[in-house]
Amino acid sequence: MKKKPNILITNDDGIHAPGLRHLWECLRSIANINIIAPLTEKSGVGLAITIRDPLRIEKVETFPNTPAWSVSGTPADCVKMAIKVIYDQPPDIIVTGINRGSNAGRNVLYSGTVAGAIEGVMHNIPSIAFSCWENKDPDYSRTSPFIPRILNYVLEHPMPSGTLLNVNFPRDHLPIQGVKLTRQGKEFWEANPDKRQHPVEEHSYYWMGAKLAEFDEEHDSDIAWLRQGYAAAVPVHVHELTDHMHLRKQKAHFDSCLGE
Amino acid sequence: MKKKPNILITNDDGIHAPGLRHLWECLRSIANINIIAPLTEKSGVGLAITIRDPLRIEKVETFPNTPAWSVSGTPADCVKMAIKVIYDQPPDIIVTGINRGSNAGRNVLYSGTVAGAIEGVMHNIPSIAFSCWENKDPDYSRTSPFIPRILNYVLEHPMPSGTLLNVNFPRDHLPIQGVKLTRQGKEFWEANPDKRQHPVEEHSYYWMGAKLAEFDEEHDSDIAWLRQGYAAAVPVHVHELTDHMHLRKQKAHFDSCLGE
């Protein structure tokens, strides 16, 4: 019998989010799971870490037979504290989500859910982020057949060092056709500020708001596949972000102007 | 006479940080500057944005002849609000820092200072992040000759769309030899948790702490040049993070296993 993998689950919607519970339900029979997730919602925190405030870690008893902890911080905090404080040895794989709302296109770096996976591969732990494009009460149950298959594929076909898999599921009105390995698209949530007046104090404030900035997308891209009802899986590399083409082109000239 | 560029300055150490003031002093005679920076320190927040709390924007009068605002949020918030609320048309270039402490190697995605520049290039505005490796009271004055030269170089030789320039200056005991265009190294700040007991309540908490995780570095990398006393300038690309090599290698097999 194959040994069950040791999985760390985290997210950015918080430890009580239905998407996280669904991810746990999809995987609990095939894996040994620990859950270490933010106590409160941390959407849009990206790879933020908490260095100026204390972090509290507390046991959570709402996942039968599964050790679970809440952390008073971000998804990246959760992964760091899990590795340094909770685990004796790192998990076999980190799985994050399932996020309520799209982390496709250029939303990757704003996402706390993807950041949990980024933090994983920073420590050379294989990592997968799962998100639903639907952001109003998504039907997580329809992702159930795909989650264990994607997990097993990644365990059997390891990703390169520094590369995570970012998986998004299509909107609920589109039946899921399958999963495509593809490239990152361009779409992202743009700020859409809404100015308000404080009811008592004499000051105004803003809600940042968001509207989707859409672009022409490559046929083979996460956004294009999602629009056609496929789940999109993008290998996202974070260990080195150098623009090598620009570096090759510009290095000699730059260094001759500024080098010495 | 050449038209002065319109510059937006932000940072993550907060609007009252000496590094930001120094950056302003380096550039005020050669540019039209607006400063829009976090009201309080936001180190380590990466590309976090504030979507669940209101944002206050307030005029700051401590920079003579320079319009300046504080924002009760992150560097990415500052750039978004600047573009959407403060500017009629986007600035010619965004300059962030000067950060107290290294944003070289793999620290890039944790840095709020670099995130200000990431947010800039997300809006196709040329952007440069400046940081000092020295993290205890750096001598910012020694960067003065380099800041306007690097700025002018980038204005005259535009970076590709989606690529920012991440500049780090060497530690104070090393005279600055020059500036090298180079690739991103591997070093990053690893968590180093310190457990404490609350003085009154019966609970413990952690300070995340940090220790530098060091690696063998390529000779031509930001970390290697910094160790030799050079400032290191890395073109960092953020519009697309796809691991194209893995995608090419794995796509047919992945899609045949999971595609339909």
For residue B96, report the phi and psi dihedrals to the nearest 5 degrees: -120, 145
Q: What six digits make up the tokens of A82?
A: 């899990």
Q: How many CB pairs under 8 A join A and B?
A: 255
Strands (E), A65-112: 68-71, 93-100
**Cβ contacts of residue A153 below 8 Å, gap of 6+?**
B254, B257, B258
CATH number of residue A101's parent domain:
3.40.1210.10
Whole-number Å distance between alpha carbons of A140 and B110: 30
Residue B37 lies in a domain: yes
Q: What six digits make up the tokens of A166?
A: 């970012």
CA distances from B69 to B8, B12, B86, B147 (A): 11, 14, 9, 23
Whole-number Å distance between alpha carbons of A112 and B48: 8
Q: For chain A, how far is it from start to end, CA to CA, in angstroms?
A: 63
Give residue A201's pLDDT: 85
Q: What are A126-143's pLDDT values in tens digits?
A: 999 999 999 899 999 999
Interface residue B43 vs chain A (CB under 8 A): yes
CA of residue B148 relative to chain centroid, distance: 17
Residue B246 lies in a domain: yes
CA of residue A45 relative to chain centroid, distance: 11
- Section A216-237 average pLDDT: 97
Q: Say if residues A195 and B54 touch (Cβ distance below 8 Å).
A: no
Residue A23 lies in a domain: yes
| Amino acid at residue number A214 | E
pTM of structure: 0.97
Q: Say if residues B152 and B115 touch (Cβ distance below 8 Å).
A: no
Residue A101 lies in a domain: yes
Q: What six digits make up the tokens of B168?
A: 């780090």
Using a CB-CB cut-off of 8 Å, the residues of chain B touching A182 are 247, 251
Q: What are A18-68's pLDDT values in tens digits?
A: 999 999 999 999 999 999 999 999 999 999 999 999 999 999 999 999 999
**Cβ B46–A44 below 8 Å, yes or no?**
no
Count of helix runs (H) and strand runs (E) in chain A: 6, 13
Give residue B1's pLDDT: 57
Helices (H), chain A: 18-27, 75-81, 112-122, 146-156, 222-227, 244-258
Using a CB-CB cut-off of 8 Å, the residues of chain B touching A105 are none
Residue A208 lies in a domain: no
What ipTM is given for this predicted complex? 0.96
**Cβ contacts of residue B171 below 8 Å, gap of 6+?**
B133, B134, B226
Q: What are B122-153's pLDDT values in tens digits?
A: 999 999 999 999 989 999 999 999 999 999 99
CB-CB neighbours of B114 under 10 Å: 31
Nearest CA in chain A to B59: A203
Q: Say if residues B113 and B96 touch (Cβ distance below 8 Å).
A: yes
Whole-number Å distance between alpha carbons of B23 and B41: 17
CA distance B2 to chain A (A): 20
Interface residue A87 vs chain B (CB under 8 A): no
Q: Say if residues B82 and B13 touch (Cβ distance below 8 Å).
A: no
For chain A, give the number of residues: 260
Using a CB-CB cut-off of 8 Å, the residues of chain A touching B143 are none
CA angle A4, A7, A8 (to 5 degrees): 165
| CB burial of residue A192 (10 Å; 0-12, 13-18, 19+) | middle
Residue B192 lies in a domain: no
Q: What six digits make up the tokens of A246?
A: 């620009």
Q: What are B247-256's pLDDT values in tens digits?
A: 999 999 999 9
Give residue B201's pLDDT: 85
Q: What are A1-17's pLDDT values in tens digits?
A: 579 999 999 999 999 99
Helix, coil or strand: residue B206: strand
Residue A207 lies in a domain: no
**Cβ B205–A54 below 8 Å, yes or no?**
yes
Q: What are A166-177's pLDDT values in tens digits?
A: 999 999 999 999
CA of residue A225 relative to chain centroid, distance: 19
Residue A195 lies in a domain: no
Q: What are A223-232's pLDDT values in tens digits?
A: 999 999 999 9
Q: What six digits make up the tokens of B84?
A: 């959407």
CA distance B63 to chain A (A): 22
Q: What share of chain A is helix, strand, coil (3-state, %, to 5)?
A: 30, 25, 45
Instruction: For residue B90, give its domain range.
Output: 6-186+218-258
Helix A244-258 to helix B146-156 angle, to the nearest 10 degrees? 130
Low-confidence ranges of chain B (pLDDT < 70): 1, 260
Interface residue A186 vs chain B (CB under 8 A): yes
- Please state the domain count of chain A: 1
Give residue A202's pLDDT: 84
Beta strand A127-132 with A93-100 is parallel
Helix, coil or strand: residue B30: coil
**Cβ B208–A46 below 8 Å, yes or no?**
no
Helix, coil or strand: residue A17: coil
**Cβ B235–A257 below 8 Å, yes or no?**
no
CA distances from A126 to A69, A215, A234, B137, B247 (A): 21, 31, 14, 38, 16
By C-alpha distance, which of B25, B37, B11, B167 is closest to B102? Answer: B167
CA distance A34 to chain B (A): 20
Q: Which residue has the tokens 């997300």?
A: B122
Q: What six digits make up the tokens of A66?
A: 């599964």
Count of helix runs (H) and strand runs (E) in chain B: 6, 13
**Cβ A250–B235 below 8 Å, yes or no?**
yes
